[in-house]
Amino acid sequence: MLKRFTSATFLAVICLTNMAALCCRPTEPGDLPANYDVLAQDQGYWEWERNVTEGPVVSPATTGFSRQLVFGADGQLTIRHSGQAHSQVSYQLSNGTFLHCGSPQLVLPLVTFTSEPQVPNNERKSYTVETTATGRTLSLVGESACTDGGYYESYTWHDE
């Protein structure tokens, strides 16, 4: 018996086979409720792996601490260093384009929050959440990536 693919299923298959994470989105915007927060996930946190730019790599090895992001459904982001609460800031999800990147541009899912001086990036970042056989990953790309190399942040999901 043949199963009929929905557009979301087809898009998920394409995303899993496409390694260019910024070129695809795992779900269509209409597939999720308006108030769904894809970054808050379940009970757990996003573990920082590294920030990459045209300059030096910034990572737990270069900063001397691990970093975890805990997005709360209440719009509060708790930033932990080596498992200990470091700061709490507000965050906001939206869709839009990057202001400094010229045109035409794609509308991207964006998250806005104040970055730490130790782990620099723009306040506005595009985000991509990808689920593979090995787990979930979060990629954040700073708004200035198209003009100055910007920062690309990578994280993996960990259940608590």
In a domain, 99, yes or no: yes
In a domain, 25, yes or no: no
The predicted-structure confidence for 58-75, as pLDDT tens digits, reads as follows 899 999 999 999 998 889
In a domain, 136, yes or no: yes
What gap in Å lies between CA 146 and CA 157, rounded to an integer? 27
79 is in which domain, residue-wise? Answer: 40-159
In a domain, 27, yes or no: no
**Segment 129-139 mean pLDDT:** 93
Strand order in the sheet with 84-90: 84-90, 76-81, 67-71, 44-52, 152-159, 135-142, 124-132, 108-112, 92-96
Where is pLDDT greater, at 40 or 125? Answer: 125
In a domain, 140, yes or no: yes
In a domain, 22, yes or no: no
**Number of domains the chain contains:** 1
Among 29-38, 54-63, 134-143, the range of highest mean pLDDT: 134-143
Where is pLDDT greater, at 56 or 46? Answer: 46
